[in-house]
Amino acid sequence: MNVILKAARIIDPENKFHNQVADIKISNGIIEEIGSNIGSAEGFKEITVPNLHVSKGWFDTSVSLGEPGFEDRETIANGLQTAARSGFTGIALQPNTFPVLDNQSQINFVKQKAAGFATSLYPIGALTKNSDGTDLAELFDMKNAGAIAFGDYGKSLDNANLLKVSLQYAQDFNGLIIAFSQDNTIKGKGMVHEGIASTQLGLKGIPSLAEELIIARNLFILEYTGGKLHIPTLSSAKSVELIAAAKAKGLQVTCSVAVHNLVLNDTAIEGFDTRYKVLPPLRSEEDRKALLAGVLDNTIDCITADHNPIDIEHKKMEFDFAKYGTIGLESAFSALQTVLPTPVIVAKLTSGKAIFGLGKNNIAEGQQADITLFDPEGESVFTLENIHSKSKNSAFLGMKTTGKVIGIYNQGKLVLS
C-alpha cells in the first residue's frame, strides 16, 4: 500500500529528523520522501491523525501464541494481527507450543503460517529437546531454518553443564542462548514474591534469591565459555546489579524486563486475582524501582510484554492451580507511558532487533518502511474492548493508561488500530 503520513513527529535519536514534524511518503514499502507539505498523489492514502508520532518499528523479544497445539489460547494469524494493532512490526515467538519448536520442521511450520502478515514473526528454537532440560535440541539446523535464538521458555536449566556446552557450541554459528533464571529447588512450591503480601495472604513465596543464584551461576559459566547470553525478564534489584557487574567485565550478556514488572508490584495479588500470577512474580516496590533505574541507565537492554495467552479454564481458578502468565501486547505502550518517558520506551521497544541479530530499520529515504505510529498523550482506561487476543488474561484490565497506538506500516502493509 502507498501512503503519506502527514505531520508526523519522528522519534528516533539517530535520525536527522529526530523530534521534527514532517510528512513521510511511502511507495511500495519504501520510504520515498521525507519533508514538509508533501502534496497529495494519485494512488496514495493520506494518514492525518492529531498528534501523530512515528518511530522505528517496535520488536517484542518474548511472545507466546500457542499454535501449534494450543490454538484455543491463540493462533498465529490472530496473534500477528494483535501485535500489529499493538504497534509491533516484529515479534520473537517462544517455542512453548505442542509440539515444542525444537527442530527444523517446526521452525519452518510457524514461519509458513506467518507469511504475508504486516508483523514479522521470528521464531525462537527450544534449547533442549521438548524443552525438558535433558538433551540439546537441533540448534544448528534450526538456525538454518530461521531460528533467531535458543531457549526453553519459562524453564531454567538445572544442568549447568548443558548451558556450558550450548554456549560453546553456539559460538560456531554466532548463536544466541536465552537462559531463564530460577533455582527450582529454592522456588519449591512458591507462587508469588516472598514478602509481606505473600505472608499476609498465606501464599507460598518465591524469594528473589531463586532468580539471583541462577543468574550468578549463568554469568560465571558465560565468563568461562564466552559466547552470547540473553537473560530474559529480570525481576529483582540484585539481578540488575549482577548484570551491571557482568557488563562492566565485558561479557556479551543482554537482558530484558517485562512490562508488568515495571508497572506493578506484589501488592496487586491482594485480591487473589490470578491475572497477576506471573513468572517471575511481581516483586516488591523496591525491586520495581530498581528495574526502572536499570532501564534508565541502560543496564536493562530491552522491554518485553512477555505476552502469554492462557485460556480461561487454566486461569480463572484457585490461585494455587492457575497457570502463570499475562497477555501484554495490547497494553504494553500505554502502560509503560505511566512510568517511563516516551523516548526511553521507544528505545527499549526497538533495541531487541540488534540483540537478536536482525539489524536496524531506519526512517530514511530509500529505506524499507518499518514504522510504528502512536500518540503518547491522552488518558484512558484499559478494558476488554482493547483486547484483541483470543485469551483475556490481562494484568492491566481496569488500569488507567496514557497514550495509544495508532498502527504500523511494515512489509508494504498498513494496519491501523
Catalytic residue annotation = 306
Residues 123 and 251 in one domain: yes
Residue 271 maps to a domain: yes
Select from 303, 336, 355 the last residue of a domain: 355
Please give the pLDDT value at position 15: 86
Residues 240 and 332 in one domain: yes
How many domains are there within the chain? 2
Residue 117 maps to a domain: yes
pTM, entire model: 0.96
Residues 351 and 372 in one domain: no
Q: What does each of the 417 residues of the chain score in pLDDT, given as a tens digit?
A: 999 999 999 999 888 899 999 999 999 999 999 999 999 999 999 999 999 999 999 999 999 999 999 999 999 999 999 999 999 999 999 999 999 999 999 999 999 999 999 999 999 999 999 999 999 999 999 999 999 999 999 999 999 999 999 999 999 999 999 999 999 999 999 999 999 999 999 999 999 999 999 999 999 999 999 999 999 999 999 999 999 999 999 999 999 999 999 999 999 999 999 999 999 999 999 999 999 999 999 999 999 999 999 999 999 999 999 999 999 999 999 999 999 999 999 999 999 999 999 988 889 999 999 999 999 999 999 999 999 999 999 999 999 999 999 999 999 999 999
228 neighbors 170 (Cβ within 8 angstroms): yes
Q: β-strands 30-35, 21-27: how paired? A: antiparallel
Tell me how far apart the alpha carbons of residues 51 and 222 are, in angstroms, rounded to a whole number.
Answer: 45
Which CATH number fits the domain that encloses residue 32? 2.30.40.10
Residues 225 and 160 in one domain: yes
Which CATH number fits the domain that encloses residue 203? 3.20.20.140
Residue 372 maps to a domain: yes
Residue 361 maps to a domain: no
Residues 212 and 348 in one domain: yes
Burial per residue of 258-297, b for 16 or more beta-carbon CB atoms within 10 angstroms, e otherwise: bbbbbbbbbbbbeeeebbbbbbbbbbbeebbebbbebbee
Select from 335, 355, 375 the last residue of a domain: 355
Residues 43 and 134 in one domain: no
Tell me how far apart the alpha carbons of residues 363 and 31 are, in angstroms, rounded to a whole number.
Answer: 8
Kind and range of the H or E run holding 214? helix 209-225
Residues 87 and 125 in one domain: yes
Tell me how far apart the alpha carbons of residues 407 and 351 are, in angstroms, rounded to a whole number.
Answer: 19
Residue among 310, 332, 335, 336 nearest 323 (CA): 310
Residue 202's SS3 state is coil
Residues 38 and 69 in one domain: no
Residue pointed to by grid coordinates 539471583: 212
Residues 130 and 259 in one domain: yes
Residue 260 maps to a domain: yes
Residue range of the domain that includes 294: 57-355
Residues 406 and 318 in one domain: no
Please give the pLDDT value at position 170: 98
Residues 170 and 307 in one domain: yes
Residue 68 maps to a domain: yes
Residues 247 and 371 in one domain: no
Alpha-helical (H) ranges within 30-124 are 76-85, 104-113
Residue 325 maps to a domain: yes
63 neighbors 94 (Cβ within 8 angstroms): yes
Residue 360 maps to a domain: no
Tell me how far apart the alpha carbons of residues 417 and 411 are, in angstroms, rounded to a whole number.
Answer: 17
